Amino acid sequence: MSEIDKHVLQTIVETANDHFFIVSGDGQIVDVSPGAEAVYGVSREELLSSSVQQLQAAGVLKPSITMEVMRTRRPAQLMQITGTGRRVIAEAYPVFVNGKLERIISRSRDLTDLQLLQDEYALLQKRFSEHLKRSHAAPDAEEQALDDALDNLQVRSHVMREIALLLKRVAPSDANVLMLGESGVGKTAFAKQLHRWSQRHNGPFIDVNCAAIPENLFESEMFGYQPGAFSGAARQGKAGLLEQAEGGTLFLDEIGELPLLMQTKLLKVIQDGSLTRLGDTRSRRVDFRLVVATNQDLGKQVEAGLFRLDLYYRLNVIPVTLPPLRDRREDIPDLVEACLKRLNQRYGRQKILGNQVWSTLMGSDWPGNVRELENWLERAWLSSSNDQIEAPTPQAHSEQRADSLPSGSPALLVAPLAPEENLKQYLERLEREALQALCHTLPSTYAIAERLGISQSSVVRRLQRYGIKVAK
């Protein structure tokens, strides 16, 4: 084996998410991945000086899959119980040279945490079902607290109450939560409420839109970096967003936009509870509650090779699907009243809704959900010349999806040239307005880039130039 091949093999062993053992044909351990220490409760140095026969006799692992391969001379797969009480699934393969068994390569994956979380989720579901059976009972303090939270979220529908109750039950644990639903349904708001209910409510709530961070900056932003890690790095280094979430909740919105390389690194952080800054050689312990959200079908992304299956299983411990606004129209009045109150405070006038407006509000499907509803109300508020908001005309105020606008749409091209505005200023204004519209209708910078036919990094630079953010 060449020197390069040795380094390649060593890198694979040391960085893999699975725990690797390389064992000689007689059972002596030749090499082992560093992560095995935590699972088997024995230092790497002790493991390297032992044989699998000794480890099984000492109860460090049982049964030994390597000994099974030595006995049968065939690949094997089995469930192990380690000396630390952890459950791992192990598989091993023999390596023959000229018919002689020279090596056994085994790898194991710790299933303990995942199984515990799944058991916990099953228990929570059972308790939730029992709660529904008691729904006719008089409201207690817990029910009142839930009602107060729903008031803050401006939701009243039965389905949203069920979701909120489940989240409240889950909140005291550190189980990973995956929030699913269309863009604009309120995933961020519910993630914040989950944080407020949790035992980590005194810690930070770090909100990260994975789609808004350029891919070339993702690692440094998420994991941080050491001084001198790259050209332009801050002299004192920087703690990444994962470290900033210490003791609190890390909310990763648009998790489906996470690059594959970062998916691998995130999985390692979830499994090991530690990370390594860019340009650093030592790992740092991190402690946070992970909540993620997406409007994409992660299952289909897994099938397409765009999302790691093992990461998907780690994230999909407590799946919560928020329904679109069209399926819970009873929430619209509270959302409208709350939005109208904010608009009146912001602009310093006390406007009210005309009676005709309510039929439009309650009758629309709102494909952009709560976000579209709020944008529609703000346009109606600003366009009303008096203190009563009238139903806007369809031509002026119909909600058009950005991806439905044809090339050369008048909505973007008929804006007149303002007085004393030169061509450059005029084009910049059109660009800014187009980006603002797309940021309210498309879920990520990647989607905006695809719509405009430019690179994602170009979209990010333009948004930064104009101070525009993708609506969450």
Model confidence over 140-159: pLDDT tens digits? 555 556 666 666 777 778 88
Residue 406 has a CB neighbour count (10 Å cut-off) of: 7
Phi/psi for 355 (5° steps) reads -60, -35
Question: What pLDDT does residue 147 have?
Answer: 63
Phi–psi pair at 11, nearest 5 degrees: -65, -40
What is the rounded distance in angstroms from the CA atom of residue 76 to the CA atom of residue 95? 13
Tokens 């366009």, residue located: 383
In the prediction, which pLDDT does 269 show? 92
Neighbours of 114 (CB within 10 A): 17
Write out the residue limits of the CATH 1.10.10.60 domain(s) in the chain.
406-472
Which three-class secondary structure state does DSSP give residue 152?
Answer: helix
Per-residue pLDDT at 218: 85
CA distances from 324 to 180, 296, 321, 365 (A): 11, 14, 9, 9
Residue range 27-36, pLDDT digits in tens: 999 988 887 7
Residue ranges matching CATH 3.30.450.20 in the chain = 3-110
Q: What pLDDT was estimated at residue 413?
A: 41
pLDDT tens digit sequence for 268-316? 999 889 999 988 888 899 999 999 999 988 888 888 888 999 899 899 9
Per-residue pLDDT, averaged over 209-220, amounts to 85
Please say if the pLDDT value at position 414 is more than 50. no
Higher pLDDT, 248 or 425: 248
Give me the CATH code for the 406-472 domain, please.
Answer: 1.10.10.60
- Helix 369-383 with 332-347: angle, nearest 10 deg: 40
Per-residue pLDDT, averaged over 53-79, amounts to: 87
Instruction: Specify the higher pLDDT residue, 224 or 118.
Output: 224
Give per-residue pLDDT as tens, 334-365: 888 888 998 999 888 888 887 778 878 888 88
Q: State how beta strands 249-253 and 205-209 pair.
A: parallel
Angle at 66 between CA 65 and CA 70, to 5 degrees: 120
| Closest residue by Cα to residue 437 from 455, 467, 412, 457 | 412
Does residue 138 have a pLDDT over 50? no
Q: Would you give the distance in Å from CA 25 to the centre of its chain?
A: 44
Higher pLDDT, 230 or 206: 206
Range in 84-98, 105-119, 154-168, 180-194 the model is least confident about = 105-119
Task: Kindly tell me if the per-residue pLDDT of 248 is higher than 90.
Answer: yes
Of 74, 71, 77, 65, the C-alpha closest to 96 is 74
Fold of 3-110: Beta-Lactamase (3.30.450)
Q: Are 221 and 206 in contact (CB under 8 A)?
A: no
Q: Mean pLDDT throughout 209-235? A: 83
How confident is the model at residue 211, as a pLDDT?
84
- The pLDDT, as a whole number, for residue 215 is 79
CATH number for the domain formed by residue range(s) 114-323: 3.40.50.300
| Dihedral of the alpha carbons of 11, 15, 19, 20, in degrees to the nearest 10 | -10
- pTM, rounded to two decimals: 0.57
- How far apart (Å, rounded) are the C-alpha atoms in residues 460 and 27? 55
Domain with CATH 1.10.8.60 in the chain: 329-399
DSSP 451: H
The pLDDT of residue 133 is above 70? no
pLDDT at residue 8 in the model = 74
Tell me where in the chain the CATH 3.40.50.300 domain(s) lie: 114-323
Phi and psi angles of residue 143, each rounded to the nearest 5 degrees, phi first: -65, -40
More confident residue, 325 or 1: 325
Residue 353: per-residue pLDDT: 84
Q: Summarize the confidence of residues 37-51 as an average pLDDT.
A: 85
What is the pLDDT, as a whole number, of residue 16?
A: 62
pLDDT-derived band of residue 7, with 50, 70 and 90 as boundaries? confident
Give the confidence band of 82 by pLDDT, cuts at 50, 70, 90.
confident
Q: Are 117 and 93 in contact (CB under 8 A)?
A: no
Q: What confidence score (pLDDT) does residue 380 get? A: 87
pLDDT beyond 90 at 448? no
pLDDT at 398 exceeding the cut of 60: no
The DSSP result for 393-418, as a single string, is PHHHH----GGGPPTT-HHHH-PPPP
Q: Is the pLDDT of residue 395 over 60?
A: no
Mean pLDDT taken over the chain? 81
| The CATH number of domain 329-399, selected from 2.60.40.10, 3.20.80.10, 1.10.8.60, 1.10.3720.10 | 1.10.8.60
